[in-house]
Amino acid sequence: MNSPCLLLSDEMDRANGAAIDAIAAECARPLQRLALSAVDADPARLDAVTGAWYSRDLFTGGGPTTPSRATLRFFERADAAPRLTWLHVMSAGTDLPMYRGAHARGVRLTTSTGVTAAPIAQTAVAAVLAHARGFPGWLDAQRRGDWAPRYGAASPADLGGQTAVIVGLGPIGLEIARLLRAVGLHTIGVRQRDEACEGVDETRVYADLDALLPRCDWLILCCPLTPLTHGLVDAARLARLPAHARVINVGRGPVLQEAALVDALRAGRLAGAYLDVFEHEPLPADSPLWTLPGVWLSPHNSAASLGNGTRDVGRFLQALRGWLQAG
């Protein structure tokens, strides 16, 4: 049996080499670590590579559809490794363009799903709370220097008893549900499997979505991009939402048809939106989403958190142990 050889970034090799070696020793599998700089110096060494780790430091400075120079460099090497059988990636999903080469070759991919679930969920729920409590209006008044309290009928509606339809019940969706239930919202989770989920008040399948939308105060999208979810929320489905409803997308941009969302917002058929992901990234400078009232944007950055790196390493080491034990 040939010894496994792991391709990884120089930063991860320096910071985590000892931990990697310790797991290899526990598994009684001698493992060679091969940093990117070593491959740059001697490309022939790629012939030995059987596994690769696409870590968060390589992703930094780019995006899912606009890869960093370090990402391009890494995948140029990984895709050229003739014996590569395993690739661990820092993302939650396996649908990013840079993974196509591995998919085409039948390379096994493992992911860091759940690593960023807490910060993404906290960001989404922060948007719910801020919009629900009236912060957009208060901040507008502050910019105008206008002392403008809201009283009577202009006061925000109570959050307790409102309904959130959460599309996607992976780690992000379940954490969003947990936090929203804590402040009194009724949560309806939508997923493919027709099985009850304890993390939400109701569990439904995608075929039920049209019937659910009229009940919805908050439509929260946190599902992966698949043939089923591509263009899932179109003009017809947006039209089924109440005019006071808001849309939150922290999943994948193409799940939501942006042109239809813009039309609904301009016509006053929706109250607002928080978007972290977009059909085209970076969001074009001429997109009307930048300036539409009631719309908050973040640059595919809702996951940002200083703890992600540590969690990502932990998930990789767990996957590494499984790879080595599988032989």
Q: Are 235 and 263 within 8 A, CB to CB?
A: yes
C-alpha span between 62 and 73 (Å, rounded): 12
Q: How many CB atoms lie within 10 A of CB 96?
A: 17
Check if 300 is active-site.
yes
| Residue 195 is a catalytic residue | no
**110 and 89 in contact (C-beta within 8 Å)?**
yes
Look up 279 and say whether it is catalytic. Answer: no
- How far is CA 90 from each of CA 52, 99, 292, rounded to the nearest angstrom? 11, 12, 33
Query: What letter represents residue 295's amino acid?
Result: V
DSSP symbols for 106-166: T-EEE--TTTTHHHHHHHHHHHHHHHHHTHHHHHHHHHHT------GGGSPPPSTT-EEEE
- Find the catalytic residue in 56, 88, 131, 300: 300
Query: Of 77, 252, 311, 315, which is the active-site residue?
Result: 252
Catalytic residues: 252, 281, 300
